[in-house]
Amino acid sequence: MQSRFRSDRRLTVRMGITLFLLGLLYVGFVAALIALLKSWVLVVVIVALVFGAQYWFSDRIALFAMRGRIVERDEYPELHGVVDRLAAMADMPKPVVAVSEMEMPNAFATGRNPDNAVVCVTTGLLRRLEPAELEGVLAHELSHVAHKDVAVITVASFLGVIAGLIVRFAFYSQLFGGRRDQNTMAVLAVVMGVSAAVYALSFLLIRALSRYRELAADRAAALLTGRPSALAAALTKVTGDIARIPTKDLRTAQAFNAFYFTPAFGSEPGLGKFFATHPSLEQRLDQLGRISAELGEATAPGNA
């Protein structure tokens, strides 16, 4: 079913290119695994099991990792009300609503398709945002579900995760595996090299896609609600408040930055912005400012 979120052809093209390029990496990666395990059947079984687990249970994994729990309407009636209204406006299935007991103000969406999606907000976010700002954030997350880029990021992340695990396995097996002949050492070296290359390339591809999909979600949310200034105000408020959260409280969250409304950085990442999962706050506010002008919105972004 097509939602009323404005489609984004450039996002669709980028998702297709990312998945195609990552698919090409599978050839060398699977070949390296077969060389290590010496059984293509075993490789296929392992890859299928891990991929299936990540695809089918990604929402549960993310909720568990971020201490989120599914909440009913009687617990959070206002939150459910906003999600109900946005789902009706967008003409899409209502996602499952969850809340994470975290001080960090943030939100994320996960799930393999619009019929099996979860939108989760932290209690820190609920305490900080005004109703219009919360609506903007939730519209942003629902657009990720409608555009199906949550599922693409989940699938795209799979190869990098497995490649990283293989590098660690090969490294520690060299350290603690005892003496090996030259052939075995050569195979391990090739596996480590291929896996490291796959991890690096997938890392860059996923982050390039992630930065664009955040801009696409901001744009779609602003156009659906008609209030880009409210989303801009939420972005400014959440980004500033995250900078004041102790770094130790952000470490767990940073592993899921690609899924979050705004990245869990306690301070500006410096040169790391070139490998960031999100565009800069300035880029996002500039885009919302242009949309506000196009819509003739009376209130400028950041002053809502």
Residue 232 carries which side chain, given as an amino acid letter?
A: A
Residue 249 is assigned to a structural domain of this protein: no
* pLDDT confidence of residue 191: 65
Measure CA 113 to chain center: 14
* pLDDT confidence of residue 240: 85
Residues of the chain with pLDDT > 90: what percent? 36
Domain range for 202: 9-224
Residue 287 is assigned to a structural domain of this protein: no
Reported confidence tier of residue 303, pLDDT bands at 50, 70, 90: very low
Reported confidence tier of residue 302, pLDDT bands at 50, 70, 90: very low
Residue 253 is assigned to a structural domain of this protein: no
d(Cα 134, Cα 161) in Å, to the nearest integer?
32
Residue 238 is assigned to a structural domain of this protein: no
Residue 279 is assigned to a structural domain of this protein: no
pLDDT digits (tens, 9 = 90+) for 36-51: 667 778 877 877 787 7
How many domains does the chain fold into?
A: 1
CATH number at residue 68: 3.30.2010.10
Is residue 109 classed as helix, strand or coil in its secondary structure?
strand
Q: Is 147 annotated as a binding residue?
A: no
Q: Is 80 annotated as a binding residue?
A: no
Residue 267 is assigned to a structural domain of this protein: no
Residue 107: is it exposed, middle or buried by C-beta count within 10 angstroms (0-12/13-18/19+)? buried
pLDDT digits (tens, 9 = 90+) for 46-90: 777 877 776 777 778 778 877 889 999 999 999 999 999 999 999
User: Known catalytic residue: 141?
Assistant: yes
Q: Which helix (H) or strand (E) holds 10?
A: helix 9-37
Options 133, 135, 141, 297, the catalytic residue:
141
Residue 242 is assigned to a structural domain of this protein: no
pLDDT digits (tens, 9 = 90+) for 253-278: 665 677 788 877 644 555 566 678 88
Q: Average pLDDT over the chain, rounded to whole?
A: 80
Residue 100 is assigned to a structural domain of this protein: yes
Q: Is 297 annotated as a binding residue?
A: no
